Amino acid sequence: MTPIPLLSALHASHAGIWLAEEGRPLATLGRGEALARAADTPLLMVNAPLLGARLGHADLSGLDLLELFAFLFPAQFVIPTVAGLARAMGLPPPESDAQAAALIPDLARAMLVWTERTDWAEREGAWTGLGQLERLRWSWTPLLRGRIAQPTRAERWLFSRLPQWEEQPPRPQPRPVTLAEPDVMARLADLTGAGAETREGQRVFAGATAAAFAPRLRGESPTVVLAEAGTGIGKTLGYLAPATLWAEQAGGAVWISTYTKALQRQLDRETRRHYPSDAAFRKHVVIRKGRENYLCLLNLEDALQGGFAGRAAVLAQFVARWAAYTRDGDMVGGDLPGWLPALFRRAGATALTDRRGECIYAGCPHFRTCFIERATRASQGADIVIANHALVMINAARGREAQGTPTRIVFDEGHHLFDAADSTFGAALTGREAIELRRWVLGPETARRGRRRGLSARLSDVASYDTEGAEAIEDAAEAARDLPGDEWLRRVVERGPQGAVETLLGAVRDTVYARAERDGREADPGYGLEVDLAEVDGALIDAATDAARALEALLAPLQRLTKRLVAVLDLAPDWLDGPARARIDGALSALGWRCDLLMSWIALLLRVGGPADPAFVDWLAVDRVEGREYDIGLHRHWLDPTRPLAEVVLRPAHGVLVTSATLRAGGDEQTAIARSGAGHLDAPPRWVDVTSPFDYARQAEVLIVTDLKRGDLPALAGAYARLIEAAGGGTLGLFTAIRRLRSVQARIADRLARAGLPLYAQHVDPLDPATLIDMFRDDPRASLLGTDALRDGIDVPGDSLRLVVMEGVPWSKPSVLHAARKRASDSPSGYEDRLVRARLAQAFGRLIRRADDAGQFVILSAAMPSRLLTAFPADVPVRRVLLDEALAAVRSRLGSGAVLGQESSNGSQTEGVRGQA
Ligand code: SF4
């Protein structure tokens, strides 16, 4: 076997930079020297983009161990740090940065040696994949070539290895059954397992939620159960008991819908208690996401055959390795490591999914192995379908999948139903949306490689053989040229728009900049600007009228084409062979969606200059990040988005359970009823309330720090640093503005790193939030800073999270939509307070996840109104203190051993894949 050459490793944190050269003492380097060494010879490193960010050189490259891991062990989980890799490879994790640097060469050697093992489970495809990567000059190939033996039999091509799905007969409708309480309790006992302590709250919850599965008494009048269950009730198993029982007895499917990926992953684990074998799990449980999450095999094939170049082409090879081993082809939150696209700076990752709706369905050569089609079909025969709120709503709104329409739905994280409905049922005519539509109709207009094709290429048979169809396609292409094209934003900004829609966007931009100032100062410099769509001037009205005409000119041929395609399917002319019929079927589905989109845009434009529709809120916006504009457009949201939610999702269902730990969303039962859409139904919902079993008085404490001056950034940063030091890490820092988060992170990261306290930050570190949470959870001395997504989507039980620090009262952003809803509410100040209480309750909910958790919740705001304190559980002590007192309280809890001093006990964390080897 080829000997492994001596390798040097580069490691950096906010505390310093280290170079480990085999046979030499560990050296510390300056930034310039480190970059020079990295440019000189390929150095071993872990997570090059993160290392590059630490060194201030985004394009840093070398022998990244994470790429090697992704090649050797595709579809396997690992925390993308030296410690994470060490655990995965069965080596002791380092205890300091210096040890981490020294360990990297050992890790590389352990991984290279793995290729010699006969039990390497992912060997198939490695030899062929390496050959492809060698052509792309992947940096690891010289070290792997010669180690990976050529297989005696030619390896199967990825596309012939994937299993085909089977068409299933239509499922009969579920039998009406009423669940018997003893059966529900017995199922709950099975799920919790022998020897588990009986949790009374969980039994009450399970018994009460079973009502959602009772037979429906009247059409369009589902049984709706609203259940608020405090943290620690064990509500997931609580509703899985009646849900699995009903699915078996009735022969139907229960859809469980979540808002966050974290809960989807938890449900994935919990459902295995009832379906422990892989075969049973695959048969009975399906995870469904929006199609834009899944790998499109046709796009991958195109990328592998020259559609991608440079680093994107290397990523495509890794994705091809992964595709052969993945459980379900989910590229976002599935078993493709979240850090993998980030290693390639996201180049190409989104182009491998079906983001633009260009799927050609049965006309695709990979249709029978397509991951999306497999998941869709599997859900039609499954007992439990784990989905998300957006997918449930979009499927219902677009009338997709008539076969598998959900009739029994559990909405977990039900407090997010309102927000999910808000985005699903809103409309936005923006430059980015419009150019997507133009590309869908016209295909690429430059000499780009790739399979992206316009409507005429996708329907080439119709275009060639059917005169009426061909005319409609030609007219649509002609009209689509009036939509924004490449470089639209530059032209709009430079006042040289092309076409009616670009002209409209220019008028929108002028109006926004004219009106979005506040007292001569912008509210949030460099970030999004928006204004009401009201009292607009003649230029904007004229531009909207012309743009509406242009969109109607596109809508008409698309509608004609739809009708023609339906007729062609009926007429079945000679040229209509199987593949052509399949292409037309696929096109019809996509056309319906595009026509709906165009109609919503036209309705929005026709409203410009006319009387306001009280059911909607309309506004104009310029989207910016750090002063850079990236989109311009008009927006329309429902004032109450639960109206369409009730119509298209709730009313057709038979039984719906909406549950959450914070279902009242800072208000009362009426708030929960209003925000779930249940208030729009004929029959009133049932209300269930089960309080948390946690001893908050003993486990938690809220500290309101009163001596920090508002707007004093250095003081804010200093407070964060001191609190994190006092807690020894384990801190989640929550911000309401990205700008302040970045300023605080820049001021404190080095100081904390020197104390051995790693700090990760959303919007700063080049990693997705889920990976950052994994890294935070993995190291009890690490801390994490983030914004809204972390306030509610993070589940870190155990001592990795023992302190939550909020930068201030989380008031709502003063957006047009927020202001309109506030004005429309019975009590505008009560409305605002309720939203803040909901955010505080969600953030507090991150702290105590288990009966043995303990921690503190700190708010850095002297101005915290007492009326908002009802957001916290009634028995949790709340104190207003000076910063020094807060620090003393944090230190004393730390010293008492109530929180620290234990081994990491994150039972939910997946152990390393190689740990038991
Ligand atoms: S069927 Fe559609 S989504 Fe699936 S691989 Fe083919 S083109 Fe992609």
Interval between CA 365 and ligand 1 midpoint (Å): 8
Give, for ligand 1, the residue of 164, 330, 372, 458 to mutate: max count of ligand atoms closer than 8 Å to Cβ. Answer: 372
Cβ of residue 770 lying under 6 Å from some atom of ligand 1: no
Q: Indicate if ligand 1 lies below 6 Å from the C-beta of 364.
A: yes
**pLDDT confidence of residue 9:** 94
Burial of residue 674 (number of CB atoms within 10 Å: 0-12, 13-18, 19+): middle
pLDDT (tens digit, 9 = 90+) per residue, 307-333? 888 899 999 999 999 999 999 999 988
Distance 560 CA to ligand 1 centre (A): 26
* Ligand 1 centroid distance, CA of 370 (Å): 6
- Residue that has been written with the tokens 């300023």 in this structure: 743
DSSP class of 43: P
Show the tokens assigned to 204: 């009450």
Beta bridge pairs of residue 688? 227
Token digits of residue 231? 């943290």
Residue type (1 letter), 365: P
Q: How far is the CA of 291 from the centre of ligand 1 (A)?
A: 10
Cβ–ligand 1 contact at 367 (below 6 Å): yes
Amino acid type, 845? G
- Site of tokens 């505008």: 828
Tell me the C-alpha distance between 388 and 386, whole Å. Answer: 7
Q: Which atom of ligand 1 is nearest to the CA of 362?
A: 1
Sign (positive or negative) of CA dihedral 329, 333, 337, 338: positive
- Does any ligand 1 atom lie closer than 6 A to the CB of residue 255? no
In ligand 1, the atom with minimum distance to the C-alpha of 361 is 1
Tell me, in angstroms, the distance from the centre of ligand 1 to residue 8's CA. Answer: 44
The pLDDT, as a whole number, for residue 898 is 46
Instruction: Estimate to the nearest angstrom the gap between the alpha carbon of 892 and the chain centroid.
Output: 38
Strands 803-806 and 878-881: unpaired
372 lines ligand 1 (CB under 6 A): yes
Nearest-CA residue for atom 8 of ligand 1? 296
Distance from residue 266's CA to the centre of ligand 1 (Å): 28
Pocket test for ligand 1, best of 289, 295, 354, 374 (most atoms within 8 A of CB): 354
Q: Which two tokens stand for residue 791?
A: 């306030």
Q: Are 367 and 361 contacting, i.e. CB atoms less than 8 angstroms apart? A: yes
**CA-to-CA distance for 527 and 517, rounded, in angstroms?**
13
Q: How far apart are CA 165 and CA 168, in angstroms?
A: 9
What confidence score (pLDDT) does residue 166 get?
A: 83
Break the chain down into helix, strand, coil percent, rounded to 5.
Answer: 50, 15, 40
pLDDT, tens digit (0-9, with 9 covering 90-100), for 866-880: 999 999 999 999 999
Phi, psi of 199 (to 5 degrees): -110, 110
Q: Ligand 1 pocket check: which of 294, 367, 369 to mutate, most ligand atoms within 8 Å of Cβ? A: 367
Q: Report the alpha-carbon distance of residue 50 to residue 44 in Å, rounded.
A: 14
* 506 phi, psi to nearest 5 deg: -65, -45
pLDDT value of residue 335? 92
Host H or E run for residue 806: strand 803-806
Specify the pairing of strand 616-625 against strand 529-532. Answer: antiparallel
Span from the CA of 587 to the centroid of ligand 1 (angstroms) = 13
Asked if 665 and 672 count as a contact pair (C-beta separation under 8 A), the reply is yes
What spacing in Å lies between the alpha carbon of 384 and ligand 1's midpoint? 24
Is the C-beta atom of 295 inside 6 A of ligand 1? no
Measure the CA–CA gap between 244 and 275, rounded to whole angstroms: 10
Q: Which residue positions in the chain have pLDDT lower than 70?
A: 1-4, 346-347, 399-404, 446-452, 517-526, 793, 895-917
- Residue 425, both tokens: 């049922």
Q: What is the pLDDT of residue 572?
A: 87
Find out whether the beta carbon of 366 lies less than 6 Å from any atom of ligand 1: yes
The helix (run of H) or strand (run of E) holding residue 64 is: strand 63-64
Half-sphere exposure of 175 (CA within 13 A, CB side): 10
Name which residue sits closest to atom 2 of ligand 1, judged by CA. Answer: 359
In this structure, which amino acid lies at residue 718?
Answer: G
CB–CB of 547/607 below 8 Å? Answer: no
Among 361, 371, 440, residue to substitute to test ligand 1 (most atoms within 8 Å of Cβ)? 361
Q: Say if residue 344 is exposed, middle or buried (CB neighbours under 10 Å; 0-12, 13-18, 19+).
A: buried
298, 374, 400, best to mutate for ligand 1 pocket (most atoms within 8 Å of CB): 298
- Report the alpha-carbon distance of residue 550 to residue 151 in Å, rounded: 59
C-alpha 580 – ligand 1 centre gap (Å):
15
Q: Which atom of ligand 1 is nearest to the CA of 370?
A: 4
Q: Who contacts 279 (Cβ-Cβ below 8 Å, separation ≥6)?
A: none
Residue 903 is encoded by which pair of tokens? 């081994």
Give the largest Cα separation in the chain, rounded. 84
Angle between helices 200-209 and 235-250 (to 10 degrees): 40
What gap in Å lies between CA 41 and CA 27, rounded to an integer?
16
Q: How far is the CA of 557 from the centre of ligand 1 (A)?
A: 26
Nearest atom in ligand 1 to the alpha carbon of residue 297 is: 5
State in Å: Cα 583 to ligand 1 middle.
11
Continuous segment of H or E residues that includes residue 717:
helix 713-727
DSSP tally for the chain: helices H, then strands E: 37, 23
Give residue 367 CA to ligand 1 midpoint distance, Å. Answer: 6
* Residue whose structure tokens are 């055959």: 305
Contact 558, 591 (CB under 8 A): yes
Residue 535 burial (C-beta neighbours within 10 Å; 0-12, 13-18, 19+): exposed
The CA 450 to ligand 1 mean position distance, Å, reads 15
Q: Could you give the CA distance from residue 717 to residue 725 in angstroms, rounded to a whole number?
A: 12
Place of tokens 């992170």: 745
**373 C-alpha vs ligand 1 centroid, how far in Å?**
8
Q: Which residues pair with 623 in a beta bridge?
A: 631
> Ligand 1 pocket, 140 CB below 6 A?
no
Question: Does the beta carbon of 323 lie inside 6 Å of ligand 1?
Answer: no
Residue 365 CA, closest ligand 1 atom number:
6
Residue 364 CA, ligand 1 centroid: distance in Å: 6
Per-residue model confidence (pLDDT) at position 876: 94
pLDDT of residue 791: 82
Alpha carbon nearest to ligand 1 atom 6, residue:
364
Residue type, 390: A
Q: Which atom of ligand 1 is nearest to the CA of 358?
A: 7
For ligand 1, is residue 296 a contact (CB within 6 Å)? yes
Sign of CA dihedral 351, 354, 358, 359: positive
CA distance 86 to 325: 23
Report angle CA 295, 298, 303 to the nearest 5 degrees: 85
